[in-house]
Amino acid sequence: MAFSLHSYPVVYRAKYGHQAWKEEYIEKPHKTPEEEAALGVPEQNALAASRNAYDDMPLVSYTTQYGLSCFEGLKALPQQDGGLAIFRPDQNAARFRRSMEGLMMPGFPEDSFVTACVETVKRNAALGFRPQYKKEWEQDSFISADSIYIRPFSYAEGGIGVALSQKPWVVVVTTPVSAYFAEGSSDAVITERIRATPKGTGWIKAASNYVISALAKHEANEAGFMECIYLDAVHRKYVEEGSSCNVFFYLKSGELVTPELGDTILPGITRASIIELARDRNIRVTERKIAIEEVFAEGKECFVSGTAAGATPIESLTYQGKKVVFNHGKTGDLTAEIRDTIKGIQYGTLPDTKGWMVKVI
């Protein structure tokens, strides 16, 4: 299933004007989940399309014309005890505010962000739109587990002519989601494309950043790779991140390295969580520049991280026709431990000693 446009019916929306945000919850057309599942594909698609339409939001806007928008991605996860909880929404709220302000929009209040995410999930769950915890997910470390993807995003007011958004909307939609990466090999390739440049918007979760990501990932997939990895724009030698995820390398020396944050690297929530968990285990974690030559010479394990990716192992990396295989093509011990710990906390099979999970129901 991965991502789905068959979003849940209850949507949050806020509009900025007169120095304040006007909020509302909208219940889009729906049947019961069981009735919807019994519909034919054309009827399901028509229902999904009706939920994805807003007559009062302009087609011609600074978002549709110039990509002036930012978004977030976070998950509500079914818990072993039958509830639902969201992973670190306060961190997404802070990044969303920074992103909006970085695009010179009015920043969305962080407390409103968290409340909107919790309440949207809760209202949809009350209508029956939610996944239920399955014991069998534990057998593959929740790689195949379902969750609710929460997508908050900004949408600009009507406009044409390059300008800034002063009266944006913020919308929160939720959709069912499963594993992001397809089963099979987890080979990656260094792309020749450049994701972000210094003094640009690489540190912002801007919609426009993902045009290059979509192209590069498609090219990688067409060439038989699961993922692509970017090098820096200036020196073309330092690893930066994946198509939509951060990247980690566990070196032969016992050092866990992830590229240092700057204006070309997105500060990932899962990235920060992994750094904290690794340091708890007395792993030497370093945020610094790492050249592709060092990765080839010293890399022992590699994995990518993100809301969708979790902590996904990379079995090999190809660059200019040369290939390095990590841990004999198998998931490394540290990668597995980090992945299993994060998933265990998220799905409630491990204690949340960090206070990362926010209960919905």
Beta bridge partners of 324: 317
Of 238, 255, 257, the C-alpha closest to 247 is 257
Specify the pLDDT at position 329: 94
Res 185: pLDDT: 78
Coil, strand or helix at 121:
helix
pLDDT of residue 309: 83
pLDDT at 178: 83
Q: What is the pLDDT of residue 182?
A: 59
How confident is the model at residue 48, as a pLDDT? 95
Active site amino acids: 205
CA distance 286 to 248: 10
Distance, in Å, from the CA atom of 311 to the CA atom of 341, rounded to the nearest integer, reads 10
Topology match between the domains 10-177 and 187-330: no
Nearest C-alpha neighbor of 229 from the set 262, 194, 197: 194
- How far is residue 121 CA from its own chain's centroid? 17
Q: Where are the domains of the chain?
A: 10-177, 187-330
Please report the pLDDT score of residue 180 as a whole number.
64
Which residues of the chain fall short of a pLDDT of 70?
A: 1, 180-184
**What pLDDT was estimated at residue 197?**
97
Chain position carrying tokens 């597995």: 336
pLDDT of res. 93: 98
What was the pLDDT predicted at 95?
98
| CATH superfamily of this structure's domain 187-330 | D-amino Acid Aminotransferase, subunit A, domain 2 (3.20.10.10)
Q: Report the CATH architecture of 10-177.
A: 2-Layer Sandwich (3.30)
What pLDDT was estimated at residue 5? 86
The CA distance from 286 to 267, in Å, is: 15
